[in-house]
Amino acid sequence: MTAEFHVLTAGYAHDRVASTVTLLTEGDTVAVVDPGMVADRQLILGPLAGLGVAPQEVTDVIFSHHHPDHTLNAALFPEARFHDHMAIYRNDVWEDREADGYTISPSITLMATPGHTAEDISTLAATEQGLVVFTHLWWGADGPADDPLAPDRDQLRAAREKVLALNPTLIVPGHGAPFAPSPSTPL
């Protein structure tokens, strides 16, 4: 079995900002990655409805990190478990756990990738297309090469190298459309 993924909205970061919001499904798992800022919530809910998924059917929400542009619309999914770098949250239960290596479903795993922030995680999904990595190590296909918010440039580079060593078919960045990594992908 492999996961399926759909980009609900492709993000951007210019004079305005929106996160790239994605849907991952596998078996009973229905996960949304980075339900953050968008121009209108219908940019999340409309594509979700078009795929036949109601907000209350979402089982998991994954935050790559805790900036509002990646978390703002989390409350759209009232039945979900919420995952970050250190825990799982559901209603009033806080379950500590390390994200690195945590399995959401057989084909969806979390990986610690500090870089954009010290607490960043990436979501790895084995799909029919190959490995797809959902991450904020890149804002878009062109980087930026030097993330202006990264607290440690060496840590960012090491995390990018870690992801690229997995030979992903696609990278879904924090603020852009999916892209195939190439030799010109910024480290």
Q: What one-letter code names the amino acid at 110?
A: L
CA distance 2 to 125: 8
Q: What is the predicted pLDDT for the residue at 142?
A: 86
Q: Which two tokens stand for residue 96?
A: 């500590």
Which helix H or strand E contains 159, and what residues bound it? helix 153-164
**Contacts by residues 39-47 (CB-CB < 8 Å, ≥ 24 positions apart):** 41/73, 41/76, 43/8, 43/9, 43/18, 44/8, 44/9, 44/73, 44/76, 45/76, 47/6, 47/8, 47/9, 47/23
> What pLDDT is stored for residue 1 in this prediction?
82
Per-residue confidence (pLDDT) for residue 143, from 0 to 100: 80
Q: Nearest-CA neighbor of 104 among 137, 136, 59?
A: 59
Read off the pTM. 0.97
How much is the pLDDT for 109? 98
Write the pLDDT tens digit of every residue in 98-124: 999 999 999 999 999 999 999 999 999
- Residue ranges of the chain with pLDDT lower than 50? none
Domains of the chain: 4-172 (3.60.15.10)
